[in-house]
Amino acid sequence: DGGITQSPKYLFRKEGQNVTLSCEQNLNHDAMYWYRQDPGQGLRLIYYSQIVNDFQKGDIAEGYSVSREKKESFPLTVTSAQKNPTAFYLCASSRDGTGQDTEAFFGQGTRLTVV
C-alpha cells in the first residue's frame, strides 16, 4: 500500500534530550513537510523540502532540524533548544509544490510528550 508512515505513534522524552521523528513515504513524491499541532489549534509549518538535499525553514523552525538525504525520507529532530516540544507532529508529502499538483497526503502523526 502506498502512503506516509510516521513512527513512533507516541514518544516520551526527558527534558534536555534530542529526539528524532521518522517520516517515510513510498508515493514517489518530491515534496515533504513537517507541521506541528497544539491542542485545539491549526497546523504550523516547521520545515519543508521540495527536492532531495534541499529544505527550507517554515514559521516555527527554531529548536528543530531536518535532513533530506533520500527522496522517501524526511526525519525531524526535536532538539533540547525547543522550549515547548510537547505537541502532535504531522508529516505530509505532495507530488510537487509548484501549484500544479499540490494535494498533500498526511501521516497519522507522532504525539511527543516531554516528561
Partner 1 sequence: GENVEQHPSTLSVQEGDSAVIKCTYSDSASNYFPWYKQELGKGPQLIIDIRSNVGEKKDQRIAVTLNKTAKHFSLHITETQPEDSAVYFCAPLDTGRRALTFGSGTRLQVQP
Residues 6+ apart with CB under 8 A from 56: 47, 48, 49, 50
Residue number with CB closer to partner 1 (80 or 105): 105
Residue number with CB closer to partner 1 (61 or 80): 61
- Say if CB 67 and CB 47 are below 8 A apart: no
**Collapsing DSSP states into helix, strand and coil, what is residue 74?**
coil
Q: How many CB atoms lie within 10 A of CB 12?
A: 12
Site residue total, partner 1 (CB under 8 A): 28
Site for partner 1, residues 33 to 92, rule: CB under 8 A: 33, 35, 40-45, 48, 50, 56, 58-59, 90, 92
Give contact residues for partner 1 (rule: CB under 8 A). 31, 33, 35, 40-45, 48, 50, 56, 58-59, 90, 92, 97-99, 102-109, 111
